[in-house]
């Protein structure tokens, strides 16, 4: 596994990604991120806090679909409470993530695990959007008694697993052989 990831990273070194990373490294924002010792840890703390807010909100929606939380609430009420926190949480996650990429462009852009993380992130967003849409189509008639079908419940846990995979990749960007 380590060899495969290293070979992918090594291949990336020969692509235009390296030129982009070098260009990013010279931007004023990148220099700003590295000139103060605390900028990167602060960006990382904001990143983790927004992941916490979004992750907890997704968990509450998944639990509602599984009939394990939000008793007495319709699916729509649960979604109205938590989906905006996921959406805005993701905005802060992306912005703080971008500032971390700008701080260390080569370490991130020339890294197989970083791109696996990006693919997993896009997959998670697409699966979540279609999941919410399909539940909305059926949940309204059931009202407060709504509980998801077997497929809806399983997809909810798949979304949680994708979040965990993204977190795993996020941590291993720092440790994978490059």
Alpha helices in the chain (DSSP H): 2-12, 16-25, 28-35, 39-65, 75-103, 105-109, 112-142, 150-172
Instruction: Work out whether the CA dihedral 125, 127, 128, 133 comes out positive or negative.
Output: positive
Rounded to a whole number of angstroms, the minimum distance from the CB of residue 102 to other proteins is 18
Report the residue from 21, 24, 33, 51 that binds other proteins according to the rule CB under 8 A: 51
**Minimum distance from residue 24 beta carbon to other proteins (Å):** 22
Query: CB under 8 A: which stretch of 69-77, 94-102, 103-111, 148-156 binds other proteins?
Result: 69-77
Please report whether residue 5 would count as binding other proteins according to CB under 8 A: no
The span from the first CA to the last CA of the chain, in angstroms, equals 13
Residues that bind other proteins (CB under 8 A): 37, 40-42, 44-45, 48-49, 51-57, 59-60, 63, 68-73, 81, 85, 164, 167-168, 170-172, 174-175
């Amino acid at each position: 596994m380590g060899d495969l990831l290293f070979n992918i990273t090594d291949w990336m070194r020969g692509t235009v990604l390296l030129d982009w990373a070098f260009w990013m490294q010279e931007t004023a924002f990148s220099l700003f991120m590295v000139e103060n010792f605390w900028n990167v840890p602060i960006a990382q703390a904001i990143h983790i806090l927004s992941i916490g807010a979004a992750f907890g909100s997704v968990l509450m929606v998944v639990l509602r679909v599984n009939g394990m939380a939000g008793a007495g609430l319709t699916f729509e009420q649960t979604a109205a409470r938590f989906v905006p926190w996921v959406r805005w949480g993701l905005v802060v996650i992306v912005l703080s993530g971008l500032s971390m990429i700008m701080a260390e462009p080569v370490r991130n852009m020339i890294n197989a695990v970083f791109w696996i993380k990006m693919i997993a992130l896009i997959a998670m967003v697409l699966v979540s959007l279609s999941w919410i849409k399909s539940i909305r189509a059926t949940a309204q008639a059931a009202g407060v008694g709504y509980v998801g079908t077997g497929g809806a419940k399983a997809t909810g846990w798949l979304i949680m697993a994708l979040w965990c995979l993204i977190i795993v990749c996020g941590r291993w960007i720092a440790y994978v052989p490059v």
